[in-house]
Amino acid sequence: MDPTPQQRARNPWGQGERLRGEILEAAARLLSELGGEEGLTIRGVARAAGIAPASIYQHFADKNALVHGLIEYDYERLAAAMAEADAALPAEQVVDRVRAQMHAYCQFALDSPGHYRLMLNNRPRREPGEPPKGPLGKVILGVTAAFERCEQAGHKLRLPAERSAVMVFVATHGLVALWHASPDERQLDRIEPMVSEFLSLVFA
């Protein structure tokens, strides 16, 4: 029943900041188990981390701060996974590198539905003057760059590179969001081909 039933040893003198990381890790673990934001509670995170609920408030002002800490951490994970997938392919396979990025994106979304939904449904209200994409900006930037390399390699696009990136990204989000809403094992295999189809639609 209890994920971490044993007593936790307190951190050594002067290293209290460690607990912040442990709380984030425990919250991430819990969110993965739950598959959604609904059961993600202060008490639950505390239990998963093996600490008292009150201890969380030494590191996060309130539940919102904890959630946003999680989201930030997750965006870094996602961007890293996409960049890695991109870099893993030889430079000349320009189209495959777009596909690899989007594949990594889907993998993240399908492996961690709770994280993905939390990230995309709690995007920050944007300040006037900021770019409209929020933390997703980096993701789209990476895809845009990959599309630009396609153009330089001679592949014709039906839309400018950045617009192509936005289109493919938006469509892929629709796809994984719909799958999250009613997951179906038998449909899982259809997701990747559909992303490829989105890709082929933006190429001339």
One-character DSSP codes across 82-102 = HHHHHHTS-TT-HHHHHHHHH
**Sole window of 55-63, 104-112, 136-144, 159-167 interacting with DNA (rule: CB under 7 A):** 55-63
203 DSSP β-pair partners? 157
Tell me if 4 contacts DNA by CB under 7 A: no
Label residue 97 exposed, middle or buried (CB < 10 Å: 0-12, 13-18, 19+): buried
Contacting residue, 1, 4, 6, 16, with DNA by CB under 7 A: 16
| Position 54 contacts DNA (CB under 7 A) | yes
Q: Which stretch binds its own copies (CB under 8 A): 5-13, 73-81, 85-93, 173-181?
A: 173-181
Structure tokens of 80?
Answer: 């890293």
Regarding 132 and contact with its own copies (CB under 8 A), the answer is yes
Among 13, 125, 128, 132, binds DNA (CB under 7 A): 13
Is 69 an interacting residue with respect to DNA (CB under 7 A)? no
Q: What are phi and psi of 203, to 5 degrees?
A: -85, 145
Give the residue with the Cβ less far from its own copies, 50 or 135.
135
Q: Hey, is 203 helix, strand or coil? A: strand
Distance of CA 165 to the CA centre of its chain: 17
Residue 93 within binding range of DNA, rule CB under 7 A: no
Residue whose entry in the numeric block shows the structure tokens 């991109």: 86
What residues does 157 pair with on adjacent strands? 203
User: Could you list the residues that contact DNA (CB under 7 A)?
Assistant: 8, 10-19, 39-44, 50-55, 57-58, 62-64
User: Could you list the residues that contact its own copies (CB under 8 A)?
Assistant: 120-126, 132, 134, 158-159, 163, 166-167, 170-175, 177-178, 181-182, 184, 186-187, 194, 197-198, 201-202
